[in-house]
């Protein structure tokens, strides 16, 4: 089987022959084409904007482990593919990247985080998008069922689950049990849950015990790892 370098060379030669372009390895150019290899899958990506999508004006404050805006934007669009405004909650909001992406698309947003530093950062960032959402970001423990009960009126939950590296996790079991139960309940009520996690098997272990929902898995490459996006929807 050909290695990644060989595949990149084949793709570069084919594109250069077709369009008459010059291949520049890992340099900024007017057209940026990237090849991602994951097992037997190959994904060809083309940058279609003049500036990288990671440069967002709302990034006023950053915190450890902040999610990339491009990934956050993809998670929001998976949860809410249409144009109709939804009520979106991120139970582990960090610096608010997901909230800012959702608010930028016209959705109502709420956020919670157990770290006060993250809450302050998230409030500062969301204020750059929609000031009235500032007061909807709270300091709370989202491994508690009470926190999920408080946000039971939302129609979409979108979150990057804690990886346990930047911010310690007291109990992963409590985290996955509460999140699994919460998004399953949301799915049965017609909502959608989209979760990014490095331990999909532990979340799935909890979700498999739930009825009335369907779960779709997508593995991605991020920061040298291959986390999984779990999308929970109503069954059928």
Q: How much is the average pLDDT of 2-24? A: 79
- Site of tokens 């290899």: 37
Query: 128 vs 29, 58, 121, CA distance in Å?
Result: 31, 5, 11
How confident is the model over 197-210, as pLDDT tens digits? 999 999 999 999 99
d(CA 184, CA 205): 12
Query: 152 vs 39, 87, 133, 173, 187, CA distance in Å?
Result: 39, 10, 18, 22, 11
Supply angle C-alpha 141, 142, 144, rounded to 5.
80
Per-position DSSP letters for 81-99, written without gaps between them: -SSS--EEEETT-TTSHHH
Model-wide pTM > 0.85: no
What lies within 8 Å, CB to CB, of 218 at 6+ separation is: 228, 229, 231
Q: Is the model more confident about 224 or about 149?
A: 149
What pLDDT, on a 0 to 100 scale, did the predictor assign at position 6? 79
- What pLDDT band is residue 105 in, cutting at 50, 70 and 90? very high
Whether the pLDDT of residue 177 is over 70: the answer is yes
Give all strands of the β-sheet with 108-113 in edge-to-edge order: 137-139, 108-113, 87-90, 156-160, 192-197, 228-234, 213-219
């Amino acid at each position: 089987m050909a290695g990644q370098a060989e595949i990149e060379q084949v793709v570069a030669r084919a594109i250069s022959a077709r369009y008459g372009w010059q291949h520049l390895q890992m340099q900024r150019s007017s057209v940026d084409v990237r090849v991602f290899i994951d097992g037997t899958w190959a994904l060809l990506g083309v940058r279609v904007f003049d500036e990288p999508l990671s440069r967002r004006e709302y990034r006023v404050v950053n915190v450890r482990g902040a999610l990339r805006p491009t990934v956050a934007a993809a998670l929001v669009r998976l949860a809410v593919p249409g144009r109709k405004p939804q009520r979106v909650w991120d139970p582990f909001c960090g610096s608010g990247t997901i909230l800012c992406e959702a608010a930028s698309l016209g959705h109502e947003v709420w956020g919670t985080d157990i770290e006060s530093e993250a809450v302050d950062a998230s409030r500062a960032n969301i204020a750059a998008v929609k000031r009235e959402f500032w007061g909807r970001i709270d300091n709370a423990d989202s491994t508690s069922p009470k926190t999920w009960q408080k946000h039971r009126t939302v129609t979409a939950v979108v979150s990057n689950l804690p990886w346990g590296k930047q911010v310690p996790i007291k109990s992963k079991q409590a985290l996955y049990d509460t999140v699994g139960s919460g998004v399953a309940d949301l799915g049965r009520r017609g909502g959608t849950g989209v979760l990014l996690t490095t331990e999909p098997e532990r979340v799935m272990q909890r979700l498999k015990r739930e009825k009335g929902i369907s779960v779709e898995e997508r593995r991605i490459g991020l920061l040298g790892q291959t986390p999984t996006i779990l999308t929970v929807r109503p069954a059928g």
